[in-house]
Structure 1
Amino acid sequence: MKLLLSCLSLMAALWLLPVQAESTDNQVQAEEAFAIQVNINTATAEELETLLTGIGETKAKRIVEYRQANGDFQSVDDLVKVKGIGVATVNKNRDKLTY
């Protein structure tokens, strides 16, 4: 009797294993769907500094100043027009950036 219960418990555990793996995959997909997006035309200097890689206080302020002086960015790649921001920095943050 104990052997039968042990076998049934093992079968139930193995049967539920794929459901747990699927749940983890769904969680990863949900996290990717809610990834942080930073609008370079509306973000404050503090948001830019906090949310972007390689953007410190000085570069964040330059982005805001450039935007105020020249109008909205027309593409993410326009960030390279800001002094101190290069293609590498834009590429590091590309998946987070919107305009």
Structure 2
Amino acid sequence: TKAEAPAAQSKAAVPAKASDEEGTRVSINNASAEELARAMNGVGLKKAQAIVSYREEYGPFKTVEDLKQVPGMGNSLVERNLAVLTL
């Protein structure tokens, strides 16, 4: 199935329209800053870029709750977005 396709090395390979569909989760380990900002409630491009920078520096997130370690991402902001995020 499409959901099980291996992640491509190119960040541009993630189809943008997939994250626009209602009910589609966004991968915090693969999504671009633009995709994260579009999908997450209360997260603009600046915070989304902080998520990507954190991921690039420390490696992939092990749980969605690990987003709380990113500067600017508080507990309530992470909790509010759990329904739209996945690894």
Assess same fold via TM > 0.5: yes
Q: Is 1:81 matched with 2:69?
A: yes
Deviations 1:53-82 (A, max 9, x none): 011111000000000000000001000100
Q: Classify the secondary structure of the residue corresponding to 1:42.
A: coil
User: Could you state the TM-score of these two structures normalised by the residue count of structure 1?
Assistant: 0.65
User: Could you state the TM-score of these two structures normalised by the residue count of structure 2?
Assistant: 0.73
Matches of 1:97 and 1:50 in 2, distance apart?
12
Aligned to 1:12: none
The percent of aligned pairs where both chains have the same amino acid is 42
Q: Is 1:36 matched with 2:24?
A: yes
Q: 1:42 Cα deviation (Å)?
A: 0.2
> Residue 47 of structure 1: which of 21, 35, 48 is its match?
35
Q: Is 1:65 matched with 2:40?
A: no
Matches of 1:58 and 1:65 in 2, distance apart?
11
Which ranges of structure 2 fall in alignment gaps of 5 or more residues? 1-21
Which ranges of structure 1 fall in alignment gaps of 5 or more residues? 1-33
Deviations 1:32-60 (A, max 9, x none): xx612010000000000011101111100
In our comparison, the structure showing a higher alpha carbon Rg is 1
Q: 1:85 Cα deviation (Å)?
A: 0.2
Matches of 2:41 and 2:24 in 1, distance apart?
12
Question: Aligned partner of 1:76: which letter?
Answer: V
Runs ≥4 residues deviating over 2 A: none
Aligned-residue RMSD, C-alpha: 0.9
